[in-house]
Amino acid sequence: MTTTPHADDAPTSERPLVDTSAMPTIHTYFRRELRLAGGLVRGIPDRDLERAGVVVDHLDFLRRTLHQHHTIEDELLWPVLLERVPEELAPVVHLMESQHERVDALLAKVDAARPGFARRTTLRCATRSPTCSTPSTSTSSSTSTPRRNGSCRSPHAV
C-alpha cells in the first residue's frame, strides 16, 4: 500500500493520503484463500508430508500477510477515515475494526492448533511411510518434522 496521493485528491489533513486502489483485489484474495483453507487441510492425504508442507507454508503465508494487511489498515486507514468521514459513517469504520478483532481471535485459534498439527506430522514421520522424507541429521531442534527437501524444522515453525 502506498501513500502517494492521486492528482485529483485534495489533502484534508497533514497526514499523507492512503492509496486504497488495490484493496478490492487484496480482499478478494484473502476471502478466496480463507474459504479454501479448510478443504486444503482436509485434502492432505494421510502421511503425505510433502503435501502437508506445501499447505502449511501456504497457510502460514496467508496468515502473515493477513496480519500485516490488517495492521496497516488498523494503524493507517481507520484513524484517517474516522477523522474524515461524516459522523453518520463512523459506525461503518467501527464495524470494520470489530471485524478485524474477530479475525484476530480466529487467527489466534489457528495459531493454537498449529503445534498439534506439527505433533501429528511428527508422528506420521516416525512411521517412516514411503511418502515421508527421512529427516536429515542436522536439525535445529530435537523434535522436528521433515520438510519437502528432506531436511527438518521445528514443529513450532509450522
Tally of CA atoms within 13 A in the half-sphere of 71 that contains its CB: 6
Contact 125, 146 (CB under 8 A): yes
Q: Nine-digit cell at 93?
A: 469504520
What pTM was computed for the model? 0.65
Q: Nine-digit cell at 125?
A: 514421520
Cell 478490492 identifies what position? 24
Neighbour tally for 16: CB within 10 Å: 13
50-89 confidence digits (pLDDT tens): 898 899 899 999 999 999 999 999 998 999 999 999 999 9
* Residues 6+ positions from 101 with CB-CB distance below 8 Å: none
